[in-house]
Structure 1
């Protein structure tokens, strides 16, 4: 709720990522993109593309304690 209000006051978008979807080690590449030399390197991950489209935004990593205990 604090992030929503902060984004509203600042006039920027809120990018929310539910980190419980990234519990497996290999699923993190979906978030940040593939490493150099791997298939899909030219395409960014979900976080990379979202920030590229909206560079001035607030990023909320929701439930991050579930992703990496």
Structure 2
């Protein structure tokens, strides 16, 4: 596990360092889930399904039904 120290801006924003974004393949527009427990904050990248993946799963469900 690694750690970084980030500053919070006056607007409540934090910036993820470039090397962290590259290592985790986080790009502009990606979504992150935020989890909290006490004074701990955890971020997790969410891989949103692509429209074609959703359509494929929908077709499978319709065929099954």
Q: Does the pair score TM above 0.5? A: no
Greater helix percent: which structure? 1
Larger C-alpha radius of gyration, 1 or 2?
2
- TM bracket, shorter-chain basis: under 0.3
- So what's the TM-score if we normalise by structure 2? 0.21
